[in-house]
Chain A
């Protein structure tokens, strides 16, 4: 029978099916971090049991860590205690920890792929909703809650109901200046913040195939923002080339064996999805959000919907959202002033993102009244950026390059956007208070954020890039 990519992986990992209930799903790789794991370890300790397969769990400290002076003890007491608890738990249970000071430390969804722990065909979970990122390699990867973290630590399994399957096909050529973040923001604006709830999504089509691995991760990362359990992309040469030679990827004969297996991971031609969506890549503009969920986005040349464009039932939520954002219905997004620019988060903090921004801002200066924070996704990204001289470009532009962590993506450490201020952010959530109490977030691509850093306002990056048939990233980094 014809199988989807999802089916091929899922079926191999089901240990048993409970009558009238979920499946027992075996988990190959488990990532943990300081915020959602302490209660899970406490649960194990209370039961008097140890981690079942400690080699299949990897830990990092990311959500709560400072992004300046990481060599000093963490000042904030509660944050410090959480990071210390992680250290203690990992030591007691034999779990590898890439904590502060370690050359592999970074945002959990950045380090998994860069170390080659994330591989095609495997199941991956983490107590974090953006675990969907890892699906870019053709893996089943999804976020779980702390009780489930405890289950995986205790048994290497979770209970999951098989989701419905959706395929989103993006075909055709992208416009210059349009990058993968715009694709995913566009998709979410089309199907809404709950449009894929109950589904696992496969992204397909020529526009997806043409993307680099890092760009694919940006897309899968935000699957959760339309409610999907996860997102995935069938592995191909781009995937294999990215993985070859990475730290935890097998070598020699074992690599060849894996490669042969991975090449079988695609949805069969006649496989059936519960839902299919078709998108023309050429329709996508650089995107920007105006509201307080990631589905509230428009092209940068567009405007905030007017009241007449909103259906009656949604008016109250819409008005509440605009009220929070300090925006009027119907206004243009172009020209909107910003106070902060945040380039970071597991959506857009990889080396390509930093290169894209550096390529755009090289030789330019930030606008006077704008604060620009660039927070690399990992120590390895930071190191690479320094090796490539990207740090110098940022310094000259007046951008502040900080140390790796989640930072202003969720404002759990000191990196908060002050109340009432506008931040254009490459992260994934514009919820009320996400970047700090009463902070206002516009989600956008690294390019659109870089442009705002220079001009101090929301603009259309297409006006600044030379027409070319090449991909936007390449054109811009040569500029």
Chain B
């Protein structure tokens, strides 16, 4: 994330069980690098066919009223395929945070490994965010990772969110898990030595 905290308008995606096949359909997984997936984010919801010139006007990412660094989705976000391309696509499209009342496990890990912060809130709080954005598309939400707090600016309502201490440190400092694992290689070798 790079930043300890920030405010942004949000993109409200009030759909449950958004699976990673919707986030990025399989036919766009053919690249061998991590870049460029953003343009195919929610491809089949955004465009009526593979010709990008036909955006579906009622899909939220095509509505000019909505923009921002925070994607807000209904429960069970990121279920299905383990493709990390889903996290890459969301990040590549300019989001730094996804808010939902429930995340699928693998997606959550993938997001964190790409400095995309999954913020899990209560059903009730999620509803309040959707209501605030419905009243005013420019309503802002504030995310404070240091304090583990999310706030709806126009109403002042806030809620704490969970994140494990290790991951929080990683995000705040830009560390990744591979650096950590490489740093404990002697312990891994020692373990293998006694194993079996």
Contacts and interface: CB of A to CB of B under 8 A. Distances in A.
A433 B181 contact: no
Contacts of B32: 38-39, 42, 81-82, 85
A22 B164 contact: yes
B169 to A, nearest CB: 8
Contacts, number: 179
A238 interface: no
Contacts of A38: 31-33
A205 interface: no
Given A19-B166, A194-B17, A432-B22, A147 B76 contact: no
Contacts of B164: 20-22, 161
Nearest to B44: A433
A244 B144 CA distance: 56
A433 B21 contact: yes
A478 interface: no
B27 A411 contact: yes
A314 B191 CA distance: 49
Given A82-B32, A129-B82, A227-B105, A145 B21 contact: no
A172 interface: no
Interface string B93-131: 000000000101110011001100000000000000000
Contact of A317 (B17, B26, B167): B17
Interface string A412-430: 1000000000000000010
Given A19-B165, A159-B177, A432-B22, A35 B188 contact: no
B110 A147 contact: yes
A24 B166 contact: no
B39 interface: no
A20 B169 CA distance: 11
Nearest to A438: B44
Given A21-B166, A39-B32, A127-B82, A145 B87 contact: yes
Given A154-B181, A429-B80, A197 B29 contact: no
B161 to A, nearest CB: 15
B48 to A, nearest CB: 10
A314 B16 contact: yes
B135 interface: no
Interface hub of B16, B81, B82, B185 (most chain A Cβ within 10 A): B82
Interface in B38-64: 44, 49-50
A224 B156 CA distance: 38
Contacts of B68: none
Interface residues of A, number: 65
B84 A432 contact: no
A54 interface: no
Interface in B1-37: 14-17, 19, 21-22, 25-27, 29-34
B179 to A, nearest CB: 9
A15 interface: yes
A375 to B, nearest CB: 16
Contact of B185 (A82, A127, A155, A198): A155
A351 to B, nearest CB: 26
B79 A194 contact: yes
B65 interface: no
A466 interface: no
B79 A227 contact: yes
Nearest to A153: B178
B33 A39 contact: yes
A147 B114 contact: yes
Contacts of A156: 188, 192
A197 B49 contact: no
A154 B166 CA distance: 20
A151 B177 contact: yes
A285 interface: no
B58 to A, nearest CB: 12
B22 A433 contact: yes
A72 B75 CA distance: 45
Given A39-B34, A43-B178, A320-B15, A194 B82 contact: no
A77 to B, nearest CB: 9
A311 to B, nearest CB: 12
A347 to B, nearest CB: 14
Nearest to B164: A21
Interface of A: 15-16, 18-22, 24, 26, 35-36, 38-39, 42-43, 47, 49, 52, 63-64, 78-79, 81-82, 85, 127-129, 143-148, 150-151, 154-157, 159, 161, 163, 193-194, 197-198, 224, 227, 229, 293, 314, 316-317, 320, 410-412, 429, 431-434, 437-438
Given A81-B30, A227-B104, A229-B105, 7 more contacts: A19-B165, A145-B82, A159-B180, A159-B181, A194-B17, A433-B44, A437-B50
Interface of B: 14-17, 19, 21-22, 25-27, 29-34, 44, 49-50, 74-76, 79-85, 87, 102, 104-106, 109-110, 113-114, 164-167, 176-178, 180-182, 184-185, 187-188, 191-192, 195
20 contacts: A36-B83, A38-B32, A39-B33, A39-B34, A42-B34, A43-B178, A64-B30, A128-B82, A143-B106, A145-B106, A147-B177, A155-B178, A155-B181, A194-B76, A197-B76, A229-B105, A314-B16, A316-B14, A412-B27, A412-B29
